[in-house]
Chain A
Amino acid sequence: MPLQNKNKASSLRMRLMFGAAFTVSLFMLALFPALQQVFTSALEQSIEQRLAADASALISAASVSKGQLRMPEKLPDEEFDILPARQLGFIYDNKGSLLWRSRSSKNVNINYQPKYDGTQNHEFLRAQDSEGREFFIYDVEVDLLRGQSAYFSIVTMQPVSDYQAMYGNLRQQLYVWLCFALLLLLGFLWLGLGWGIRSLRSLSAELDDVEMGRRASLSDEHPRELLRLTRSLNRLLESERQQSERYRHSLDDLAHSLKTPLAVLQGVGEVLSTQPSNAEQVRTLEGQVNRMSQQISYQLQRARLRKSGLLRYQVKLKPLLDSLLEALDKVYRDKRVQVTPVFSAELRVPVEQGALLELLGNILENAYRLCINEIRISAQLTANGCELMVEDDGPGVPKHQRERILKRGERLDTQYPGQGIGTAVVKDIIDSYGGQLFVEDSVLGGAQFRIIFPLN
């Protein structure tokens, strides 16, 4: 699968995922202080309201008798009596001197001085006591108490620590929920992206099928955005197929129309050679005919067997080899060659059918011609690729000729004129598939042609 690269960053899904995760995290980070701000102000507002209610309770409990403030022994709100102090109350006169304090404020020595200015406004603020504890303070002025005019500052307080505990608790919860939401969001994103990318994966699978020759073209069952691409690819595939077909036909016609006249010339040469005086010219003629013929064969084979750009091949070796051996056995019937195949019946070679046939045909024909009576063909998949080996028990290839054997149009024996391009074609095919050819000594006593094709 081309999409499943070892390098994760090159996967489209991972890229989209990283992008989305980054965006979502950034969004969450921005959301967090905003939420915190909203909550803080809501909380402080509720505390202010509560302190205002406490102040109202004190006001309703207080009374004035002979210009003196009187507070009942037992307040209706017990919170003002409980220690440790959670709810504190103070009453000051308009000159700022303390007239009354609740029992809960016993241990609190707060440095707060209300300023009575007669505006009847209230104030909400924070202050610290001598021990560094912080309190919310609500300060309201009254000028009328149960119908009598009075001038007092009513101050209620509440320790900030309560609020802080609540606030900490909320922040923690906010963290948990936001993280949970983030994970959930990323999970949905991952699934959603997978769903979106699945169409790319199915396209990739179809392309694999096309490359392996399991299907001729890509289907139309793709998202609209991809159809433009798949249709172009289909057109490309089709035109490549047609072109290679046309190419093959033209090459066949060209071979026929060039080589038959050469055969005629060859014949003419042979007739001329019956006159001894022509011997020199005839030798030249035949030499040139031979050279042209080899060049035509070689160039045509080369052109026809070039590797196609798009398709990858997987050709089953056994049926192809069977038909080839049957043909060769027929031609070399008298020789009764013993061929031993050593490979799995399922083995596939990553080379196009025609090219593989040409490759093996040329190598095996040499082996049939030169062997005494034994040929061994082995093939296997190794770590380096697909390894093919053809061995025979013939004379072998002398060391100094091994380099030459693989050169263009080079031939070692001149027994069959016009057919010496075999090994050069073999070398060309192997090169075009990025393979390697080794000419070695076989344990059978003759030559060993070892070919390694890289796997796709």
Chain B
Amino acid sequence: MSLRDNPLGELKVPLTWTAGIVFIVVLIAAVAILLGDRREDFDTDAYGNPRTLSDKVMAPIGEVASTPGRLTGEGVEGVRGYFFAVSENRRLKAELENMKQWRDVAIALRDTNERYRTVLGLKTDPPIPMATARIVTDSRGPFANSRLANAGSEKGIKPGNPVMSENGLVGRIVGVTDGVSRVLLLTDAASRTPVMIDRTNARAILTGDGGPNPKLEYLRGQDPVKAGDRILTSGDGGVFPRGLPVGVAVKGLDGRWRVVLAADKAPIDFVRILLFEDFTQVADTKKLVHVVAPPPTPGASTLPPPTPEPKLPAAAATAPAGAAPAAGATPTPKTTPAAQPQAKTAAPATPAAKTTTPAAKAATPAPKTTTPAAKTPSPKTTQPAGGPP
């Protein structure tokens, strides 16, 4: 039977209408997919199986496709090194002479530092293991800035791990599977990183916006930053260790403070992924949760009576000033000077308490405001830069 003989052959559905209906259905489906995306959760389950699968497929393709470019670059560098070997040698010799002086200074400072630690009984942060990976794809658009690295869960990489180049912080891991992990760059619009200004110790949140220079937001204090200040990770919130180099502050064209990222000094081909977990996890959190406060001593007043500030000579006056914040947390050592070092060594317990209160861990300023000791230089010594700056 031909088409004309078919009784329904004359029935024509306008293709424009059907195409329009299909378009609307597909648009609704796309909007539903977009609304159902849970990228902000940033854990492996929320990252999703399709995404991990696509990363797994794209990483080897990117690796193979980028090989010619990489080899060409290495070849050009080799030729350049060959022709400029003499000048390079001269420059390196001068640099070595300069570095020898710094080596002596570093040895002396290390010795002093070790003695101080021994005297104070400080517990320093454990060293952070690292995994090395190569970047195989790179997205640089205004709406998403991420990269795929060719190392994954087999190397112990987890979502949240900080990623560094040889010059500074690059971003953090947001998705990981076997053999590949996705790095969310500091420039991504979804990226928020707690940072501090090295000179003033002022805190800020580094906020990406898809441009090359992320913004410094929530700056506190009067003139907390000026052009050229070094920006480091603050360690607040426990996602990043304290003291990782981020970049240098500059005033943007829009009048806002921005950061020229240290990682942009050179192409990011190899990265170090710090297998960092919040140091508070080192403590046995279950045990800390079940710790009950000792009952007050019968007959003793809860708080010691206010004692007038003793008038001491200028040299001796520094000791109570340093001990005062610690005494705010533990009143008893104030009366016994011998106990003061003990009060300082108890400082690592303060971050441990953060794990017991998730809100404090997320917001982090809470422990600082509640315990004045956190604002004093004591945490600086108890929680030094975990990673190599």
- Asked if A and B are interacting partners, one says no
Q: Enumerate chain B interface residues (CB-CB to A < 8 A).
A: none
Q: Enumerate chain A interface residues (CB-CB to B < 8 A).
A: none
